[in-house]
Each structure stands twice: as C-alpha cells, then as structure tokens.
Structure 1
Amino acid sequence: MWSSSPLNGVKVVELAGLAPGPFAGLLLADYGASVLRIDRLPGQTTAPAADKLTRHKSSICLDLKDSRSRDLLLSILAKADVLIDPFRPGVLERLGLSPTDVLLKANPRLIVGRMTGFRRDGKYKDMAGHDINYIAVSGVLSMLGRSNDRPYSPGNLLGDFAGGGAICFLGILLALISRQATGKGQVVEANMVDGSAYLATMPRLGMKSPTWNEPRGENLLDGGCPFYDTYETKDAGKYFAVGALEPQFYVALLHGLGLKKDEIPGRDDRDNWPALREIFTKRFKEKTRAEWEAIFDGTDACATPVLEQAELEASGHEQRLAVDLVGTPGKSFTADNAGWTGGGLFPGDGGEATLKEWFGWTKGREYDDSKGVLVKSKGGSRL
C-alpha cells in the first residue's frame, strides 16, 4: 500500500468565496492537495472564518486591490498547480488577473477552475443569484416537490454543492489528467446551471417515457409512489423511509407491516396508489420508529429509519470521505471531529508555513506583512 494521498504534491490556491468554491477546495484538500486559501483582511482576527469548509487548508490574507498583494499572488500562481476562482464573470479580469491573458501566459501548467452560478454566456450572466435561482433556470427545480404544490428547493445541496463544487472538482481532476498528457494547464469553466442539469439527466430523459412522464410529485421516485416515500411513526416527528420498488422487496415490506398482498389493493395500478398510501400511513403510525427498526433491520424490505444529523453526531457516527481509495487514501478527519465541526480556519492561519513548504519563501525576504495583509517584498530575494 502506498502511503501518500492521490493528490499529494498538488498546490492549490483558493480565492475565498461562498459554498461551491470552498467545497471544491475541500475535496481537493481531503484527497491530499495542499490548499492555500486567499482571505481578505479580516475585520476581527481573533475569530475563525465564517466558512466551515476549511478542513486541511491554510490561509494568507491579501488585498487584491493593492498592487503589492496582487503581485505576490501572481508570484504564487506562477508556481502553483490550480487556482479556484469563485467570483462572478469579469472580476479576475478587472483585477488584472485574466486567466488566459495573464495567468496562463505566466504559468502554462496552471489549471484555473472558474465557478459561477449562471452560465458565463447566458441570459442571466450579469445577475446575482443563489442556489435556488440556478436550479430554477436549469429546469431542475420545476421537477422537485409534492403533487399540486409549489416547487421545493432541497436546501443548497443541488446547485452549490453537487452541481457546483463537486462538478468543479471533477473538472479540475480532468484537467490534471489532461496535463499529464499535454504538459499544459487550461481554464475549467463550471457553472451551477449546467452542473445541476447534468445531475438531473435520468429524470429529464425519463420524462420521455413512463419512468417520469407524470406531473411533479406523481412519479415513481418523486413522492408519487406509496412504496417509495416516507411515513411518520407513532413518536411524532420521527419517520421511516420506504423504497420497496422491486416485487420481492415489496413482499418483504408487506410482511414487516403485517399486511397480506391479497387483502390490499394491487400496487401495479396507479389508481390504487392513494389507497395504498393511506394504508401505509395508518400502519406506520401504530409503532414507534425504534419498533419499526427492530422489525425491518436485516431484511430486504428497503425500509430504514430517517436518521437526523443531531442524533448521528450524539451517537458518535463517523463521517467519512465520499470515496475510499484503498491504495492511496485521502486524509482522515475523524480524529478531531472535523466531520461535524468543520475546519475552524483563522484568516492567515498556517499560510506562511505553506509558502515555506511550497517555495522556501520567508517573511521579510520574499514578502512582508502590512497590517495583517501580505505584500510582495520590495527588496531581498527575487520571487
């Protein structure tokens, strides 16, 4: 077994932003990349960054409107592998940091991961927005929610994190693979409209078939089906999840519920679904969640408790990396409970050690500290 993580040795500069950019940086850091976060001058240096997605990262503070800080960043990027740009279109260009005209000319091996909400070339490119707006114009939000109710947004998971940060991470990995063959970096353009739309490939294509051709909330997997849904148990506010799609699993579900197949409406006729839902709703209310767990644990009924984050944390549940690479594992974050608490990175924390590790730079020679902000040194060794 190798001891190093898969991205060991990859130098990543992350410009501080909101959720999707930091999440892409977190994924890179968890799998071994050295991630240097560029924070703005903190208003209160005694408090950690509000962003909790800082695990395994370090930080320096730069004022990118100051030419000396900008020159220092350019010197760092001239030797880095990846830059994560979380800004709206045109921001880097206005700062004199155009990826194609400046950054890639200075470092042809640099990979610039650019993360936007709307498409860079689309109707909404100059507008502000949040997750709900991006998945709205992607067409995905229209598919989410209960029948005869308004579309329902699943927090900011689908746009910011799945269609945004995770897809940007994928693009950066692809660019790293490409660089191995070509020796050249490139610009990776990710946006949450296309990212979330791509994640919805299966239901979108399913709309052309009986798989997903009914209105919102009336399909097999979106809440329309009574044997693929959640049910409240006897202890109010607790729920059980049911996903007994296949016939053999459905039989196991009925057995656990104490129901006989020939005594209830047939499941293959959609007209029977409301009656089945009523039967299941009433039956699940007869026992507590723990009692149903005792019945269904170890069976193939595809029936499980809906566990809550607070109870998982209280029980000592171990949060793990998304993918386990047996030969080149990612970095563990269980020892310090960072899976529940985040990174707790202070602006400027650990950044000077990172610059020393990356390039052998030291403060007072290659760079100086000006009121908490690092700037390129006027004298001493050349960068």
Structure 2
Amino acid sequence: MVRFLLIPLILTLLRAKSTQALVIGFALLGGPALAHEVRPAVADFEIEDTSLSITVRLNAEAIIAGVNLSQVDDTNDSAQAEDYDTLRTLSDVALADAFKETWPAFADGLKLRAGDITLTPVLGKIDVIPEDNAENPRDTMVSLSAVLPPGGDPLQIGWDARFGSLVLRQGETVEAPFTGIVEPGALSPPLPRVGSFEETAGQNFMRYLISGFDHIIPKGLDHILFVLGLFFFSMQMRPLLIQVSAFTVAHTITLALATLGIVNIPGSIVEPLIALSIVYVAVENIFARRMTPWRPFVIFGFGLLHGLGFASVLGEFGLEPSRFIASLIAFNIGVEVGQLTVIALALLAVGLWFGQKDWYRARIAIPASVVIALIGAYWSFERVFL
C-alpha cells in the first residue's frame, strides 16, 4: 500500500526532467522492500457436525506487538517495529506463552459467524515453528475451535483488518473444498455446513484474476522492476513487444509446471536469481543501444524464473481441482494485466512526455536503469547472505 501511494509522487518527480528527481523517485519505490515483507496468514479449517476447527499459520510477533498488518508491507515500517524486534528474540516457548496472554484481544478480533450468530472461539494448541535463520520471520500455528449452533446456517470466517489478509483453505473432507483470500476486515462468502461451497465459473475466474493482478500491483515489486527494466531498454514498440512476449510465454510455462508439481525449485534459489535477472536487464540497458540477438532468449530464461515466483502464490492460495485450468488461466491473465498496467504507467509518466527527446536515454533511461540495477543487486545480496 505504501509503495502504491507513492506512485503520484514519483510521476511528479519524473516530469521534473531531473536525473536527481528520477533517482529519488525510484529509491522511494524500492526502499520499503529491502527488509522482510509481511506475509498473509493461512487458515485451514474443517466443518464438522457440531463444531468448527481452524489452524492458523501466522506471525505471532506482529500480532502481539500490535502491528497493523493491513497498513504496512514490512514490519520495520510500523510504529511497533522495536517491540516486534524484541519479541523476535524470545525463545519459541516464551513466544507461545506471550501469545496465550494476547489471546483474549486476538479472539475479540476474530469473526466467526453461523448465520446471524457470533461464535465464541476456544484456544487450542500453539506451536511455534523453529526458524534457524534469525533474519526470517517465524511461523506460529494456532489451533482454535468453536461450537456450532443447531440448524444449518452457513458459516463465515474472517478477522479484523489489523491482522492483514487471510488465505482460507478448507480440508479435503468435501468434494470441492473452498480456498480463497479474505481481505483485511472482510468475511468469507457463506460456507455451507454440509456439502461443498458453490461458486459460479465467472466468480471463480474473477477471484483468481484479481489475485494475479494483486501479485504484480502492489505486491510484486521485483516483477515490477523487471518489467520496467524491459521498458527502459527502448522506446520503440518492436523491441518492447519482443521482450514482453518472451517473458510472458516463459513465465506461463513454469507457472503451469510448478502449479502441477512437475517442477519444484526452492525459493532460496529462485528468489536470488530473480533479483539477479533485474540486475542483468538494467545493466544491459546502460551499455546496449540495440536489441542483441541473445537478449530475447535471456529474457525468456528469466521469465522461467519469474514463473516459479508466481507459482509460490498459488501454492498458498491453492487451485480448485475441478476448475484447475480455468483458475490457472485467470491468474495468469491477472499477472499480464498487472504487467501491462506497469508499462502503461511508465508510458504515462515518461514515455509520452519525454520518449522522443534527444536526451531521454541519457537523462531518464540510463539513470533509471542504474537505480533498478542497484536495487536488484542489493536484493541479490540480501537474499543470499542476510
């Protein structure tokens, strides 16, 4: 959200025709992503005859510290950053005890309903997942349950906006289990107590399309910078189309293969390589004035990596087996719309104003590529060594 709100400021800076302003704008855009970002919580639920059981994987330190996860992309940006860092030093057992003390406030923020009846959650087991690397956020598994009232009123699940987004997944006890993202402060659609959640093909398509777009804007800063690297290479339409087409075909392939489970490469390998891909395209922008024969093939290779990054989102979000192909296509379309939006914003910001100027490459394209390369280089180092 913070980066998205900075777009108008960056557009103003770009129109100033100042290299310094351009560098400042991209520094603002890139800054918040240089530390560990907030991730959505994931809740797996089961509906039984008389009870609802939920296991939530969440960032307990952020919840205890009172970080508003709907307003920040990184815990370092919150007013409670110091409290959060202090909680990060607790042992796993001490963190579980601290969450037990926070439970009443957390329970008040839960929204569990059966029709018009509000359900009372009961805390169960708390498991803090050990994390060897102190620089990575710990996951805490919180189990809770609620007694269902008589009758067949459908259930709705959600929580306060301050807890952020919630990936909601139903167990395999029904033929077509529900999976979806509940936005901060919202409630899930009504979930039947018996049988499967019914969603039209159009609703399912739009849900995955929006998720794909959201993964680019505002959450996919690394993908945004890569696309901007393609844009700043040349203002001519043919090179841009060749690059974007190669990138699109490639990430579509690996998105499908990874989602099907055919390809599985750890994020610890993929994420640094994605950062290096940003460095490569930006550096080549600085030194190459024309499309080299190998650049489309290199872009294709990098697209394969980015497709694996996109697949990590679907890994948490899940795909309904009965609509697997349609959901995958919808998500990919959402990604493409997001990428085209990035290019359109770049055109509006600099292309239409300065693209045909003699000084465009020297004053805008090269400085922008330098900043993109520096951000990518920092991410490469951070994702390998920090």
Q: TM-score, normalised by structure 1?
A: 0.24
Greater helix proportion: 2
Task: Report the TM-score, using the length of structure 2 for normalisation.
Answer: 0.24
Larger Rg: 1
Higher relative contact order (CA 8 A, sep 6+): 1
